Amino acid sequence: MIFGFGKKNKEEEDYDDEQDLVMFQGAFSGAEVDFTEHARLVQVGLLRAKELITEGLERRAERIRIEPKGERAVVQLIVDGVGYAGGRLSSKEGMAVTQVLKLVSGLDVKNRKSVQKGGIRAEWDDRKFLVMLESKPLQGGAERLTIDLIDVKNAKYSPQELEFSPAVMEKIRELTSKPGIVIAAGPPGSGTTTTSWAILRGIDSYVFASFCFVDPGHRELGNVSKFDRRSDATLDAELVRLTRMEGNVAYIEPLNDAETLNTAMEHTGRLSIVSEMTARDAPSAVESLCKLSGDPAKVASALKGVFGQKLIRKLCEKCKQPYRPNPKLVQKVGLPEKTQVLYKPPSAEDGADIRVCKRCGGSGYLGRVAMLELIEMTDKMKEVVAAGKGSAEIKQVAREENMLNFKDEGLRLVAEGVTSLEELQRAFRAS
């Protein structure tokens, strides 16, 4: 049932029709919520919450943040990875919006002392969305709310949907075809989970039986089976059970602690293990793995490869403008010498006004694509890692062996007209 509180009065009905507000259709978890107990909260916060989510959807935001700041709550919209002001709420409005969204998603409204995650099924403009929430407690009983807006039909999970190059897809299959660990690494919010999931989805399902050990949330399993994990069993015991079932691939929780990492390494004789971890980039991830395990030689033996990623905005195909680059610039930045045409966002010439593109909202960019790097455990790389060398030495060997790197991937995307030189520079400055 589309969520409203009881029957709408005529004024609210007319207002919703006029504004085309998002419609909430229940908690993602399927939890039943007794709204009568929170009638006052619904009355105060529901309409404002729907307006806020609708604004985000209209502006193509993938994320909304509500941050309490004294007597105000600051709203930020993240569109294609770039933050924009989303207006201000009073502290009371911000609290009401946060609490009513928690309520609709089936979370505990009274709990403001621990992190909570949930989601709401929604519909807007005849499209299905998931409104995924995370509330984090702050001092004084306030909460920071992060809202991810996911277009169900257009959500991307596989390497093909994420536009990985054929070379990257081939490398994924090569690295996961033998027992060992393959991970995606990056800073928070960099798309690490999406990349690790794409690695899993990129494995040849006709040859290998892949199992997911974690809650996939909103992500489609595709050719991956959900592992029936026992709540009272350790990761070690469950990996043993998967081996006895003759499974080939396990997608497990992030390798951000020594226990999980060392357990995973104990099973790399029989299983291919896919996971993720938090790190600045792929070379730093390898260094961190060695420190976590306390045994660099074991990491060098168990690890197959680490993918790092940076998300970069794609030029809007409808309004991007071609231009002929200066040959000296082409040579300076390292683009192919044969590059004759590059593209950039639209800009006014000679002071003339430009028409705002309805497709991208005038930003010149629409959506994002991942630039990838790869640290692969070649013989030389194994020697460096086993010796306990740091990320600088790891990066140097990767250059010497022409491994996939951000610079080359970024320049390829520029040369292909996918993005602009300006966006490439912005992405590197932001990292």
pLDDT confidence bin for 44, thresholds 50/70/90: very high
Percent of the chain with pLDDT over 70: 94
Is the C-alpha dihedral spanning 148, 156, 184, 280 positive or negative?
A: negative
Supply the DSSP symbol for 38: G
Whether residue 55 is predicted with pLDDT greater than 60 in this model: the reply is yes
DSSP string, 143-173: EEEEEEEEETTT---STTTTT--HHHHHHHH
Q: Looking at residue 337, what is its pLDDT?
A: 85
**Which CATH number characterizes residue 24's domain?**
3.30.450.90
Distance CA 210, CA 247 (A): 7
| Pair of tokens at residue 354 | 């430009």
Closest CA to 265 of 184, 183, 347, 338: 183
For the stretch 109-164, pLDDT in tens is 999 999 999 999 999 999 999 999 999 999 888 999 999 999 999 888 889 999 99
Whether residue 4 is predicted with pLDDT greater than 70 in this model: the reply is no
Could you tell me if 178 and 282 lie in one domain? yes
pLDDT confidence bin for 347, thresholds 50/70/90: confident
pLDDT confidence bin for 18, thresholds 50/70/90: low
Q: Are 160 and 201 in contact (CB under 8 A)?
A: no
Closest CA to 180 of 47, 323, 298, 333: 298
> How many domains in the chain?
2
Q: Looking at residue 1, what is its pLDDT?
A: 31
Neighbours of 124 (CB within 10 A): 20
Could you tell me if 313 and 407 lie in one domain? yes
Averaged confidence pLDDT in the chain? 91
**Which CATH number characterizes residue 188's domain?**
3.40.50.300
Could you tell me if 139 and 195 lie in one domain? no
For the stretch 407-417, pLDDT in tens is 999 999 999 99
Distance CA 32, CA 343 (A): 51
Q: What are phi and psi of 235, to 5 degrees?
A: -60, -40
Distance CA 431, CA 426 (A): 9
Distance CA 216, CA 371 (A): 24
| Pair of tokens at residue 205 | 């399902």
Higher pLDDT, 407 or 217: 407
Whether residue 104 is predicted with pLDDT greater than 90 in this model: the reply is yes
CA angle 286, 292, 293 (to 5 degrees): 95
Listed in sequence order, the residues at least 6 apart from 186 whose beta carbon sits closer than 8 Å to its beta carbon are 192, 195, 278, 279, 280, 281, 308, 309, 310
The answer to which of 95-99, 133-137, 204-208 has the lowest mean pLDDT is 204-208
E strand or H helix that includes residue 289: helix 282-293
pLDDT confidence bin for 19, thresholds 50/70/90: low
Domain boundary among 119, 151, 183: 151
Place of tokens 């491994």: 403
Neighbours of 136 (CB within 10 A): 14
Domain boundary among 120, 151, 182: 151
Q: Looking at residue 76, what is its pLDDT?
A: 96
Distance CA 363, CA 5 (A): 38
Could you tell me if 203 and 342 lie in one domain? yes
Q: Looking at residue 217, what is its pLDDT?
A: 83
For the stretch 268-289, pLDDT in tens is 999 999 999 999 999 999 999 9
Place of tokens 């357990």: 263
Distance CA 148, CA 57 (A): 10
Give the pLDDT mean for 214-238. Answer: 92
Domain boundary among 125, 151, 177: 151
E strand or H helix that includes residue 91: helix 91-104
| Domain range enclosing 146 | 10-151
Could you tell me if 364 and 399 lie in one domain? yes
